Amino acid sequence: MDLLLKGGWVVTHERVEQADVAIKGEKIAALGPDLEAPGATVRDVTGKYILPGAIDAHVHYQMPIGDLLTADDWFTGTRLAACGGVTTVIDYAEPSGPEEPLTQSLAQRLAEARDQACVDYGLHQVVMAGQEEDSQELKKVVEKGVTSFKVFTTYNQRLSYAAIGRLLQQARQLGAMVTVHCEDHEIVTAKRQELEAGGRTAPAYHATSRPADAEIQAIQEVIRQAGEAGAPVYIVHVSTGGGAAAIAAARAQGRQVFGETCPHYLLLTDERYASPDCRLFLMCPPLRTAKDNRDLWQHLAGGDLQVVATDHCSYSPEQKAAGTAFYNTPSGVPGTETLLPLLYSYGVSRGWLTLPQMVRVLATNPARLFGLYPRKGRLAPGSDADLVVFDPRQEVTLQAAGLHSAAGYTIFAGFSLQGYPEATYLRGRLVYDRGQFLGQAGQGKFIPGQVSTS
């Protein structure tokens, strides 16, 4: 054995038990009480939780939008992930336009990440208009280990609902998952025109410009398309109680509809858009109401939403300040580093989630949905030794200064946390310890997804 974590509380997706964890090379070798490991490095983790490393299934590093590039690149993005107890991230391979072959955009994205990533990573493949017809390219992408596609119902790269339906059919044949950004383009366009006509274009109108109904109607239509195609579907960044309710209703009928939400939709409201720093909180879809926060927690606790991810898409305050209107302010916020501690303090400690439920929404479920399980998302012998030593007694007040995003700010400034990651192990290697990043660029590996065989 190489490493023994001794005396802690092991949290799996099923239970919490007092057990030691032995690691050999990159894998978990044994789990149980009073393990002996002669010659191994021993870490006393008495009073701490041992969790499987979190998976942030929705991040955007060095993403170009117009002339801008997000503040976090593959190195800073995955470094801050390690510091927050996130050992796998899933980013996007995105063609520069519908004419760029999917496989070309995938090769380019893999090349960008290879020497820079500090934690393991997977990719979702963005599919643009017309590319949903190209079964050969879709198949090649899946064969290369990218088993999920991403489409948008709005933005320039949008697909029509009918095209999403065609992609769902292709994905069903390939055993792949289609993930969808749901905001109805017609509703969003009409709202923008109405606001522009009234001269109400300031960033403060962001939430008004993208109403809850735009999300709810898009989710309903995408679920309908998935039903016709007989395919599973995954809705990213659900921001509304109504959207989550649509997913819950489909699931109640036995449908394979899955939903992801983000900490900002659980914990922040659109009141932030009334403040002078509203641009820092501008993301799509926008923040909603306190009732939506509660409804989302309820749907998460009830199992109708399966994943909490962050949609980490960071711009600095200087980049954000260039925005003069809701439609030209860089959209997106940093979040990966605070994912786990926020879910613990505001999900587990407040009674919404049990510890195993937290492990499911942060690790096991995304690993299963995106073909990484049981290598990732499972704390058991044979799985990668991606582990977090979590100290439930450490008190932290979130501030940008304690965090590692190149964006230089956090939307959760001032949030009190009871509990914080003490150490992170990536495949058995210590990459973060008590405030210090100890990892290296290039040590993160691409983890190919496996298609579902069921």
Per-position x/- string for 168-197, each x denoting binding to ligand URP as judged by CB under 6 A, each - no binding: -------------x----------------
Per-position x/- string for 220-259, each x denoting binding to Zn ion as judged by CB under 5 A, each - no binding: ----------------------------------------
| Three-state DSSP state, 344 | helix
Pick between residue 285 and residue 439 the one whose CB is nearest to ligand URP. 285
Pick between residue 11 and residue 55 the one whose CB is nearest to Zn ion. 55
As measured in angstroms, the least distance from the Cβ of 396 to ligand URP is 26
Closest by CA to 56, choosing from 389, 388, 408, 439, is 388
Question: Half-sphere exposure (CA, 13 Å, Cβ side) for 18?
Answer: 6
Q: Does 48 bind Zn ion (CB under 5 A)?
A: no
Pick between residue 299 and residue 312 the one whose CB is nearest to ligand URP. 312
Q: Does 150 bind ligand URP (CB under 6 A)?
A: no
As measured in angstroms, the least distance from the Cβ of 219 to ligand URP is 14
As measured in angstroms, the least distance from the Cβ of 44 to ligand URP is 41
Q: Does 332 bind ligand URP (CB under 6 A)?
A: yes
**Residue 141, token pair as written in the block:** 């992408």
Segment 287 to 316, residues that bind ligand URP, using CB under 6 A: 311, 313
Q: Which of 331, 345, 364, 424 binds ligand URP (CB under 6 A)?
A: 331
331 touches, from ligand URP, Zn ion, none (C-beta below 5 to 8 Å by class): ligand URP
Pick between residue 78 and residue 331 the one whose CB is nearest to ligand URP. 331
Segment 52 to 91, residues that bind ligand URP, using CB under 6 A: 60
Pick between residue 48 and residue 192 the one whose CB is nearest to ligand URP. 192
Segment 165 to 184, residues that bind Zn ion, using CB under 5 A: 181
Number of residues that bind Zn ion (CB under 5 A): 2
Q: Which of 22, 23, 59, 283 binds ligand URP (CB under 6 A)?
A: 283
Number of residues that bind ligand URP (CB under 6 A): 8
283 touches, from Zn ion, ligand URP, none (C-beta below 5 to 8 Å by class): ligand URP
As measured in angstroms, the least distance from the Cβ of 235 to Zn ion is 10
Pick between residue 78 and residue 169 the one whose CB is nearest to ligand URP. 78
Per-position x/- string for 294-323, each x denoting binding to Zn ion as judged by CB under 5 A, each - no binding: -----------------x------------
The residues binding ligand URP (CB under 6 A) are 60, 181, 283-284, 311, 313, 331-332
Q: Which residues bind Zn ion (CB under 5 A)?
A: 181, 311
